[in-house]
Structure 1
Amino acid sequence: MAGHYVVRNVTRAAPEVVAGLREAGVATAHEAAGRIGLADPAIRPRQDGAAIAGSAVTVSSHPGDNLMIHAAVEMCQEGDILVVTTTSPSTDGMFGDLLATSLRARGVAGLVTDAGVRDIATLRAMGFPVWARAVSAQGTVKASPGSVNVPVVCGGQVVRAGDVIIADDDGVMCVPRATAPDVLAASRARVAGEADKRAKLESGVLGVDMYGLRDLLDRLGVRYVDELPEDGA
């Protein structure tokens, strides 16, 4: 449907599912989901050590214009993650410390954007985490219509309002709300399996033995030798 909209009603994932996926983290959830949903690694964490998950509030903005980000703040609830995209590529600093102050007052967990942010030192000092394609002092205007809580594409991934966003030092992942409980269950199973593997590796077991890789290496023609063979051997 053509037009510009601010959609008020968002169906969010259960809080315990969101919390579980935050604990699992991006790398584990990505593997558990079948290696889908990972955003372009160019959308980078702009601080160290932050790990968040939350329901997406989405913004589709005109490049170089942050009007719709301001409109989106009212739609945010505690624990949400604001996901901002532009209708064509942009690295302008569309988000800074004043918007972060407004979002933090509503309990928003953080920002993910396919565009740029600025005031990055202040954002770090505030402890408001952002994942962004760029850091740029280039300012923006407030003049062009866009939409809030419509499907968007962020970092190559379709994000719908209410989908679960996971973001940490490994990047950003989108989990569709409908599949989030299944991804959480698979993530927990994976974490349990990794605990057993970690214990074996700590005891000195080699990965090539634990994963049964010696036969694979042999089939691939990888030879163990004490010295490099003569040329032509």
Structure 2
Amino acid sequence: MSYESLDWLSSTLLADRGARVMACRIKPLRAGWRVFARALTVSVPPGDNLAIHAALSVAREGDVLVVGGEGYLDRALMGGIMCGQAAALKMAGIVIDGAVRDVAELQAGVLPVFAAGISPAGPTKHGDGSVFRSVVCGGVTVNPGDWIFGDEDGVVSFSEDERTTLVRAAAQKLEVEHARMAAIKQGDLTPAWLQSHLDRGAVDITNRY
């Protein structure tokens, strides 16, 4: 297997090797979407998106917009128009710890959108918030320029300094997983580590019947 393209990379491999895992409420709106890019960070008060508009005005191609929305779901922070703007800017994706709307339109688009929920209600534009500062998204602190990886299993983040080590460790983990799957196909149905862990653990196994 060639690892140069990173097409093999997944949130599960990265999470198993130390990437910070966002809350499971943040999910892709469409199956198969992936994002792997550096964060343009935004924080907003619950239900207000003025700072997101400000962020889009300075966004660059390839950025992933990471919005700390405090998990507030009663008002959508973005919809078809703003996500269309982000797609036209050739952004890599959107990750929102909050709600979105115009879901059918977003699912038909090309921009990967990960959100905590859906609401038909629109946002306010009263202000406050920040752009290019550390934010908390899905319980994880994300700094400007951190790497964001999202797929169907969820979203993780890690710093530029951690990137090489994490990706290398993820590749090693994948090799171990491939070896285990090959062993299963050959009839080895009990992992070698199981008995030693059971000896140390407190698992109560009684008779089957």
Report the TM-score, using the length of structure 1 for normalisation.
0.80
Which has the larger share of strand?
2
Instruction: State the structure with more CA Rg.
Output: 1
Shift of 1:133: 1.3
Q: Is the contact between residue 87 and residue 110 of structure 2 (CA under 8 Å) also seen in structure 1?
A: no
Aligned-residue identity in percent:
32
Shift of 1:142: 2.1
Cα distance change on mapping 1:52 and 1:221 into 2, 3 Å = closer
Instruction: Kindly tell me the number of residue pairs found equivalent between the two proteins.
Output: 205
Q: Is the contact between residue 71 and residue 138 of structure 2 (CA under 8 Å) also seen in structure 1?
A: no
Q: Is the contact between residue 62 and residue 146 of structure 1 (CA under 8 Å) also seen in structure 2?
A: yes
Q: Is the contact between residue 93 and residue 111 of structure 2 (CA under 8 Å) also seen in structure 1?
A: yes
Provide the rounded CA distance (Å) in 2 between the counterparts of 1:28 and 1:162.
Answer: 21
Provide the rounded CA distance (Å) in 2 between the counterparts of 1:193 and 1:142.
Answer: 50
Cα distance change on mapping 1:42 and 1:89 into 2, 3 Å = closer
Aligned to 1:131: 114
Q: Which consecutive aligned stretches of 4+ in structure 1 deviate over 4 angstroms post-superposition?
A: 218-225
Q: Is the contact between residue 71 and residue 116 of structure 2 (CA under 8 Å) also seen in structure 1?
A: no
Provide the rounded CA distance (Å) in 2 between the counterparts of 1:32 and 1:63.
Answer: 32
Shift of 1:143: 2.6
Of 27, 49, 59, the residue aligned with 2:32 is 49
Shift of 1:148: 0.5
Which structure 2 segments of 5+ residues have no match? none
Shift of 1:84: 0.7
Aligned to 1:7: none
Give runs of aligned pairs for residues 178-189 of structure 1, distance below 5 A. 178-189=161-172
Shift of 1:64: 2.0
Which structure 1 segments of 5+ residues have no match? 1-15, 229-233
Shift of 1:31: 0.5
SS at match of 1:56: strand
Provide the rounded CA distance (Å) in 1 between the counterparts of 2:71 and 2:153.
Answer: 23
Specify the code of the residue in structure 1 equivalent to 2:111.
Answer: F
Report the TM-score, using the length of structure 2 for normalisation.
0.88
